[in-house]
Structure 1
Amino acid sequence: MTATISRRRQLAAGLALCLFGSAGAQAQQPREVKVGFVLPLSGGAATIGNQTKVGAEIAIEQINAAGGIRALGGARLVPVFADSQSKPDVGVAETERLITREQVSVMVGAYNSAVTFPATEVAERYKTPWLVTGSVKDEITERGFKYVFRPNNMALYDAREQMDAIDLLARESGKKPQNIGLFYEGTDWGRSHSAAVKKLAQERGYKVVMDESYPPNQSDFSAQLLKVRASKPEALVLVAYTPDHILFSRQFADARLNVPYGIHSVGGGSEDPSFYKAVPQRAVEYLFVQDDFQVDIMQATKDPASLDADKKFQQRMGYPLNAYGAQGVSNVYILKDVFERAASSEREKLREALAATDIRSGTALITGYARVSFDAKGQNVDAHGVITQNQGGQRRTVWPAENRVAGTRPVWPLPDWAQR
């Protein structure tokens, strides 16, 4: 009888241990996971920063509505946004605040390369994973950092796509520019991109006849336009954020300068819907744009979450999903994949999961990438964009040739202003 009672007590103790142990484990599961975002929500790049923010918010709402992070017991994603104002010192301070005070698990940002470059140094020091959005400065992933991962293009990729497009159009038409000009904003983004274009242009036999930078937030481009007129580039590579791109485009059109093989803009302002609302159609007709999102085939996707994101983005912003909104969506879905595989909100485990990322389907690829995986430096080597040409108020993909929508024909070379 005594042995039976003792045995029952042991079983009861074991059952209690299992029950309380299980409850304790469940109690340790986070009910929510904080994700920090540093973006330009005011200042010159505010429209782009807010487009990224809306895309991220939509993706977070979708994920939370679908049950949250299942590997964490349905934990909800909670975004914590900070405004960099496109200023490196502000971005650095806000990064440190989100990591130390808000205790975010992972960081996303910061669009401006000049902000991302120093801000990621802070994240690396605090051993906090950082998922880059938009920033292309090559050196961001060239410093041997272990916590920085970039799914989008680096500057070299953007430049290569622009030069590949020029080469393709030259082969197709038998007409090729002999020289190019470079005109770019003078921060990390512009300098990094122009250096890559210059290197590639010289390797491919194009003479660089203009290499001109300008300080951001210009009030007048008259002096620089005189240099364009004097140097006579046959193709002009342009790097500009939205406000500067608006002003330059207006003044360029008013000056009626002929650049026979066109202006080739590397994203930035020319991917921003607010840019197209602020300039007359004649100012952007035939403009070539290195796009990080193929806007003319969005209707072809069959992914329900992507279609829902596009619908909600239009409702909130008044225009369809664009490159920056899509990057916001993609960044969050990449992190969902990471959280599920890490089954943790701990920074080190998230870093390990990010390094092992290999996404080949789903909403994380809404940007158009075939794959997201990171090399030893943290760069997604499968990142790519497309080159579009503005024709009749629409951006039509002209490179790669296999991405062209039926009926698209590049205009190359461009007609003179007198013939438009």
Structure 2
Amino acid sequence: MKIVLKRIVFLGVGLIFTLGLMAVPSSAEEKVIKIGTLFPLTGSCALAGQRCQASVDTAVDVINNVYADIDVPLAAQKGLLDGYRIEVVHADHQGKPDVGKSEAERLFNQEKVYAIIGSYNSAVTKPASFVAERKKKIFMCGCSSSAALTKRGYQYFFRMAPTDETESLEFVEVMKWLNEKHEKGLVTVGLIYENSEFGKHAADEGKKAVKDNGFKVVVDIPFNPGATNLNSEVQTLKAKNPDVVFGACLGGDYTLWVKTMKQMNWLPKVALNYCTGYQDPVITKQLGDDANYFMGGTGYSPEFAGLMPAVAAVEKIYMQKTDPSVPFDSDSIQEAVAMLILAQAIEKAGTLDYEKVKETLYANTWESPLSLGGKVAFSPGGQNIMAKSLITQLQNGSYKRIYPLDLADTKPVVPMTSWNRP
């Protein structure tokens, strides 16, 4: 009997000890903040998505370690909240909205991430951020440009980059400047855009800006993302022959559009592009001379080094995590900004409580040396009201600053030089 009792006591003590170990998480677990990323790692925008992922990894590296020589908030300390480090969980949405939504659910429900950063494609950001809003968890958006995303009245959604509404207004401002100061005679506008949340909203904003400023839309052409042929679309553009084309073509679609225009030996006087393949340094390199004289909104390129001196040291880390020949671009750098702003808010709030971190994000103006505007501040709905971009033109493979005039370094080539140039 005594032996049986001893065994019961021993088993009871062992069970209590085991349950105790199960109930108390390890110190390592207590000091980890898991952040999910959601980008197109496969599909037609894979290269852009992979660079966005590497950009977040770069920001996390800066936050988790001590870089006393980097002039970026949090770089001089190790981690957050007296010892927390960030751990990143990556997901691939393949450029598909339904996949993005399900991956957002998985990241929150199974991976237990604290927040999500993404998603490059506005069409994916829309449903993925809905998941976060429903769960009252934070979604940090770097570069998805659809202005509609910050007009939904969401409380937990924050976007770093300018919107297609802002870019549309910049485009018509440039057109008026070219007419008034350079007598270019720009009157008519054509639009070509992917038939998605991003493309359709960019086109709507473009048409509104054109009409409100006395110009005329003469052709409006949507196409399916991931197209294999744009012959009929470009033929329609050529037939209508607008003075200016607004383009909303991502990744490989941009390459195909440019090559098809060359094949048909047609160019408008001016081609202005939203946050698209135009901004992608890899696509620019692949197109070579054919990329020249296109224009577009640009939040960062290496040619901006004098305007953004803090970027260089961070870019060195970034280029170790991706193709070392490819620097930050307008899109990828915004994802690093998203991570750094969230980290600053957590540190300032002194807690991981969602409500306090959300309120802290809204209540402050954040130092952001990786942003062209130098600071980040959010209006209701989550738009960064200090987001800024320049109008650039590709000349000899370099992004030359064209507008506004106080930041310009080069005169624009208008009309665009013919494909049959010597």
TM-score, normalised by the number of residues in structure 1? 0.87
- Rounded to whole Å, the distance in 2 between the matches of 1:391 and 1:298 is 17
Q: Which moved more, 1:205-214 or 1:367-376?
A: 367-376
- Rounded to whole Å, the distance in 1 between the matches of 2:115 and 2:420 is 54
- Aligned pairs (5 A) from 1:6-405: 30-66=30-66, 67-70=77-80, 72-260=81-269, 262-281=270-289, 283-303=290-310, 306-315=311-320, 316-317=322-323, 318-359=325-366, 361=367, 364-405=368-409
Residue 342 of structure 1, CA deviation: 1.5
Identity %: 27
Are the structure 2 counterparts of residues 320 and 358 from structure 1 closer, same or farther at C-alpha, using a change threshold of 3 Å?
Answer: same
SS in 2 for 1:51: helix
For the Cα contact (< 8 Å) 1:238–1:264, is it kept in 2?
yes
- Rounded to whole Å, the distance in 2 between the matches of 1:28 and 1:146 is 31
For the Cα contact (< 8 Å) 1:35–1:80, is it kept in 2?
yes
For the Cα contact (< 8 Å) 2:141–2:335, is it kept in 1?
no
- Rounded to whole Å, the distance in 2 between the matches of 1:276 and 1:259 is 19
SS in 2 for 1:190: helix
2:395 corresponds to which letter in structure 1? Q
For the Cα contact (< 8 Å) 1:182–1:236, is it kept in 2?
yes
Aligned residues: 386
Are the structure 2 counterparts of residues 28 and 343 from structure 1 closer, same or farther at C-alpha, using a change threshold of 3 Å?
Answer: farther
Q: Which moved more, 1:251-260 or 1:238-247?
A: 251-260
SS in 2 for 1:365: coil
- Rounded to whole Å, the distance in 2 between the matches of 1:370 and 1:59 is 16
Q: Residue 13 of structure 2 corresponds to which residue in structure 1? A: none
Residue 218 of structure 1, CA deviation: 1.2
CA displacement, residues 294-336 of structure 1 (integer Å, 9 cap, x when unaligned): 4412245442xx3222123334321222112311221121112
Are the structure 2 counterparts of residues 237 and 301 from structure 1 closer, same or farther at C-alpha, using a change threshold of 3 Å?
Answer: closer
- Rounded to whole Å, the distance in 1 between the matches of 2:404 and 2:172 is 12
Are the structure 2 counterparts of residues 114 and 404 from structure 1 closer, same or farther at C-alpha, using a change threshold of 3 Å?
Answer: same
For the Cα contact (< 8 Å) 1:105–1:346, is it kept in 2?
no
CA displacement, residues 365-390 of structure 1 (integer Å, 9 cap, x when unaligned): 31312321111221112212111111
CA displacement, residues 159-190 of structure 1 (integer Å, 9 cap, x when unaligned): 11222222222222122311110111110100
1:391 corresponds to which letter in structure 2? Q
SS in 2 for 1:279: helix
Q: Which moved more, 1:171-180 or 1:197-206?
A: 171-180
Residue 349 of structure 1, CA deviation: 2.3
Q: Residue 409 of structure 1 corresponds to which residue in structure 2? A: 411
- Rounded to whole Å, the distance in 2 between the matches of 1:299 and 1:355 is 30
For the Cα contact (< 8 Å) 2:219–2:240, is it kept in 1?
yes
SS in 1 for 2:205: helix
2:227 corresponds to which letter in structure 1? Q
1:297 corresponds to which letter in structure 2? F
- Rounded to whole Å, the distance in 2 between the matches of 1:131 and 1:385 is 19
For the Cα contact (< 8 Å) 1:69–1:339, is it kept in 2?
no
Stretches of 4+ moved more than 6 A in 1? 26-29
2:226 corresponds to which letter in structure 1? N
Are the structure 2 counterparts of residues 120 and 218 from structure 1 closer, same or farther at C-alpha, using a change threshold of 3 Å?
Answer: same
Question: RMSD of the alignment, in Å?
Answer: 2.0
- Rounded to whole Å, the distance in 1 between the matches of 2:42 and 2:383 is 28
SS in 2 for 1:383: coil
2:284 corresponds to which letter in structure 1? Y
- Rounded to whole Å, the distance in 2 between the matches of 1:417 and 1:268 is 22
The structure richer in helix per residue is: 1
Structure 1's unaligned 5+ residue stretches are 1-23
Residue 254 of structure 1, CA deviation: 2.1
For the Cα contact (< 8 Å) 1:29–1:73, is it kept in 2?
no
2:313 corresponds to which letter in structure 1? D
Residue 28 of structure 1, CA deviation: 11
SS in 1 for 2:305: helix
- Rounded to whole Å, the distance in 2 between the matches of 1:221 and 1:205 is 29
TM-score, normalised by the number of residues in structure 2? 0.87
CA displacement, residues 68-94 of structure 1 (integer Å, 9 cap, x when unaligned): 334x11211111111111111111111
